[in-house]
Amino acid sequence: MLPPPPVTSRDETVAHLHDLLRRETGGQKRQAGQVRQSSAVFALPGVPVHPDLRDSFPTGLRLGSVYTLSGSTTVAMGLLAEPTRTGSWCAAVGLPHFGVESAAAWGADLTRLVLVPHPPSQDWVSVVAALTEIADLILTSRPPHVTPGEVERLHARLRIRRTTMIVAGAWPRAAAHIEAVTTGWDGLGQGYGALMRQRLRITVTERHRERTADLGWPVQAAQAVQAWPA
């Protein structure tokens, strides 16, 4: 029997091995033309984001951290889309009104999405913790009351499993805050037309640095009027 290595190094080792495994087996089918970020083991690429959101997240979402999101749900859908397309699993917890078609319109691969619409409030932390086992990105609604101890444990868990969590609401220790404000709508008049396009302003505040980008969604709304893709 070998003596067990010290805890900190074991955690790091586990995280490191897990990450290697994920890269080997996670089926990260990179699209042609998508630049593979640095292949050095420790310069880890973040969770991939949809090309239309690249202006706000040039390096993707940081692995293992918590983002808070206020404002637009559309942006949350967009953030879910790219990881599912590149072979990761994602989860949506506590979002009973999840607009499936909107996620599909962003190009999400719905077969890699797990939905837990009504987690019991006393189980909320354990459900999220269980999902960190498989998901690279977890989108949750505002959680019920969580104690500082639970927050701490969940953070450690997310860090070790390298899972990113996006909370639509407040969270005590978020790494960054995403504010997505709808600045206007195109196409709707007084009694005529139809909503064709949403104009958003996305502000990402991370360590007192702000990055603001404007986005029109859908990007190709200028095309002919057409029904949603089924």
Partner 1 sequence: MSRMLPATSTPVRVLALWWPGWSLIAAQEAAGAPADAPLAVVAKGIVLACSAAAAAEGVTEGLRIRHAQARCPDLQVLLHDPEVEQRAFEPVLRVIEQRAPLVQVIRPGLAAVRAVGIARFYGSEAAAADALAAAVQEEFDHDVRLAVADGLFTAEQSAYATTGEVPWLQVPPGGSTSFLAGLPVTVLSAAVDDARMPNMLRRMGIRHLGEFAALPRGDVHARFGATGLRAHQLACGEDAPAISPRSVPLDLDLRVVCDPPVGDVEQLVAQCTPAVDRLITALMEHALVCNQIRLTLHTEAGLVHERLWRHPWQFTGAELLDRVRWQLDEFSAETSERYDAVTLVTMAPESLESASHHAEGLWGDRPDEHVVRTVTQLQARLGHDAVLSVSVGGGRLLDERRVLRPWGEAIPTSAQRRTDQPWPGSLPGPAPSTVFAQARPAVVLDAEGAVVRVDRRGGLSMPPATLRLGDGPARRVTAWAGPWPIQQRWWRNPLNVNRFQMIDDHNEAWLLLAGGEHWWTEARYD
Binding site for partner 1 (CB under 8 A): 25, 71-74, 76-77, 89, 96-105, 110-120, 123, 127, 130-131, 133-134, 181-185, 187-198, 217-218, 221, 225-228, 230
Cα–Cα distances (Å) from 160 to 7, 17, 64, 163, 221, in that order, read 12, 10, 7, 8, 41
Q: How far is the CB of 178 from partner 1 (least distance, A)?
A: 14
Nearer to partner 1, 38 or 226 (CB): 226
Q: Least distance (Å) from partner 1 to the CB of residue 230? A: 4
Cα four-point dihedral sign 172, 72, 108, 32: negative
Given a contact cutoff of 8 angstroms between Cβ atoms, the answer to whether 90 and 137 are in contact is yes
Which residue, 57 or 217, has its beta carbon nearer to partner 1? 217
Residue (149 or 189) nearer to partner 1, CB: 189
Q: Kindly state the smallest distance separating residue 27's Cβ from partner 1, in Å.
A: 9
Cross-strand partners of 182: 200
In the complex, what is the shortest distance from the CB of residue 54 to partner 1, in angstroms, rounded to a whole number? 19
Work out how close the CB of 22 gets to partner 1 at its nearest, in angstroms, rounded to a whole number.
11
Nearer to partner 1, 179 or 206 (CB): 179
In the complex with partner 1, which residue's Cβ is closer, 5 or 184? Answer: 184
Which CB, 62 or 197, lies closer to partner 1?
197
Six-digit token string for 145? 């009351």
Residue type, 194: A
At residue 103's C-alpha, the angle toward residues 97 and 107, to 5°, is 170
Query: Would you give the DSSP letter of residue 131?
Result: H
- The values of phi and psi at residue 173, to 5°, are -130, 65
What's the min distance (Å) between Cβ of 176 and partner 1?
A: 21
Using CA atoms, how far apart are residues 211 and 204, in angstroms rounded to an integer?
A: 5
